[in-house]
Amino acid sequence: MESCSSGYQNLNESDRRISNAFTSKKQVQDFEMSNVTVVPDETYTVAQAVDTFGFGRFQVKLSLFTGLCWMADSMETTILSILSPTLQYEWQITLFQQALATTVVFMGMMLSLPFWGSFSDKFGRKTALTLCSVLLFYFGILSSMSPNYTWLLVLRGLVGFAIGCSPQSVTLYAEFLPCKQRAKCVVLLDCFWALGACFEVLLALIVMPTLGWKWLLVLSTAPLLGFACVCPWLPESAKYLVTSGQTDKAIDTLKKVAHDNGKPMLLGRLVVDDVVLEEKRGHFTDLLLPQLRVSSILLWFIWLVCAFCYYGIVLMSTGLFESSNNNRTCSSNLDSGIFKTVQSCTAESHYLTTRDYIDLLWTTLAEFPGIFATIFVIDRFGRKITLVFQFTLFAITLFLLFQYAKNRVLLTITLFLARGIIAGVFQAIYVYTPEVYPTPLKSIGVGTCSAMARLGAMVTPYVAQVLLKSSFNTSIIIYITAALMAAIASSLLPIETKGRDMKEEYVEKE
């Protein structure tokens, strides 16, 4: 019994030592946990890390960097509406040549989408955006030195090819955004687009009367030069790094996010998330599966019409302002029958006046209230209702042009309303489309819709710049009809994504 008692005492003493050691270890762990966020299963993904760190100083800086790229893209697009009438006056090009100078830029953008998508997936978002900014700056400068119309077409086409990479800046930005703030922040990023458009008009107002269009092309590359300079500080996508096997670099990037946002770094092992094996990735034919077929076809049409109408308003604004400066020549044009072709007023075309630029600036400013109104409406009434309402309201606004096209003040107000409404439509459809498709089909789904938008942008110059000058009524009726058809298509969309969980899988074909 004595030996047993001694054994129990030794055992109790051993238990106390183990208990003390456990308590000491627990205290150390508690201290560590107060300084580091621990994921229960000792692993974490990039998405979990970004959500944990929240929205902070890192995202604010990234917003400014990517916004600069988006601003440069907007300026290169807006300049098309300013450059066309000037080239027609100086080089005596035809209306079709004028429209082709616009179309070739969008053609370059559409053709470059697969290239830049593949390039950024292989070499990273940062590398693609750096190369894009350098090429865009280079070809923008060369465009200003174009000796003739043919060279201008080639170089502006190359500018369009480089612009095709700019959506990668939004991809990079979205991959560092917490889930709850992602949709709203991506929409707000479009404020930089509107800011770039306004800046381009102001720059034209200052430069065009004194230095001419060549210097406008040169100075319009300033945001590109600024973006190229900040590219060394641009972070690479942590998702790209971890999926390409560069886990250490991905962790370093996440540590930077945590430090800038004042949050502790996660403990545990970084694992890959949202990766779909190549054989399991979505293909184009999957967009036409029975459960997605109607949505895909309707979305392709809606995206095409949206770009057709948006760039149509941008391009026709300068033509309408230019026409209103010459009432004698263009009045018969505005009164012409629907299918009646009359002599174009551009035979006596001239440079845009200071008043033209100021009124163009007013219509461009409309994008800001259009963006904020869409943000306010879309989460309260739903995506489908917002699209139907905005397309219908856009068509009604265009009807007002039949009455107010001759009155300069009312014309400016009408174009202001139309520009704001159609800019809001673009934001609504950008929010809706990724929410419809499951994760394996998001990229291909949004990519095909974007391609359809480029197609609409390629067609619209021949209506907004060519047909408008020969038959005002016909061109406006085309835009009204397209908008109303898009409103009907929006109402027929089978899915309302407001408050709907985003699907991660889809049923494959047997």
| Residue pLDDT tens, the chain, 510 long | 434 444 434 434 444 443 444 444 444 444 344 444 444 457 778 878 888 888 888 888 888 888 888 888 888 888 888 887 788 778 888 888 888 888 898 888 888 877 887 787 778 888 888 888 888 888 888 988 888 888 989 999 999 888 888 777 877 887 788 877 776 777 778 888 888 889 998 998 898 888 888 899 888 888 888 888 888 888 888 877 887 788 888 888 888 888 888 888 888 777 776 444 444 455 777 788 888 889 999 999 999 999 999 999 988 888 787 766 654 344 434 444 433 333 334 334 456 778 888 888 888 888 888 888 887 888 788 888 999 999 999 999 999 999 888 888 898 899 999 999 999 898 888 878 877 877 667 767 777 888 888 899 999 999 998 898 888 999 999 999 999 999 999 999 988 876 554 454 444 444
The pLDDT of residue 392 is 96
E strand segments, 306-412: none
User: In terms of Cα–Cα distance, which of 336, 157, 125, 152 is closest to 234?
Assistant: 125
Cβ atoms of 428 and 387 closer than 8 Å: yes
Strand partners, 43: 269
User: In terms of Cα–Cα distance, which of 72, 192, 199 is closest to 129?
Assistant: 72
The Cα 104–Cα 380 span in angstroms is 40
Distances 211 to 219, 438, 479, 490 between C-alpha atoms, Å? 11, 51, 35, 46
The pLDDT of residue 34 is 40
Q: Is the pTM of this model over 0.95?
A: no
The Cα 367–Cα 389 span in angstroms is 17
DSSP string over 237-268: PHHHHHHTT-HHHHHHHHHHHHHHTT-PPEEE
The Cα 305–Cα 453 span in angstroms is 7
The Cα 375–Cα 170 span in angstroms is 18
**For residue 243, what are the contacts with CB-CB under 8 A and spacing of at least 6?**
272, 275
Numbers of helices and strands, H then E, in the chain: 24, 2
The pLDDT of residue 495 is 81
User: In terms of Cα–Cα distance, which of 120, 59, 66 is closest to 244?
Assistant: 120
Q: Kind and range of the H or E element at 400?
A: none
Distances 396 to 321, 393, 466, 481 between C-alpha atoms, Å? 20, 5, 23, 11
Q: What is the DSSP letter of 37?
A: E
What per-residue string of b and e applies to 319-358 under the rule 16 or more CB within 10 Å gives b?
A: bbbbbbbeeebbeebbebeeeeebebbbeebeebeeebbe
The pLDDT of residue 443 is 66
User: In terms of Cα–Cα distance, which of 110, 497, 507 is closest to 295?
Assistant: 497
**For residue 438, what are the contacts with CB-CB under 8 A and spacing of at least 6?**
282, 502, 503, 504, 505, 506
CA pseudo-torsion sign 323, 329, 331, 335:
negative
Q: Apex CA 497: angle with CA 491 and CA 499, to 5°?
A: 135
The Cα 4–Cα 26 span in angstroms is 32
The Cα 129–Cα 167 span in angstroms is 9
Cβ atoms of 321 and 352 closer than 8 Å: yes
The Cα 487–Cα 384 span in angstroms is 9
The Cα 424–Cα 193 span in angstroms is 13
The pLDDT of residue 286 is 78
User: In terms of Cα–Cα distance, which of 418, 189, 449, 167 is closest to 300?
Assistant: 449
Cβ atoms of 384 and 490 closer than 8 Å: yes
CB atoms within 10 A of CB 504: 10
The Cα 299–Cα 212 span in angstroms is 41
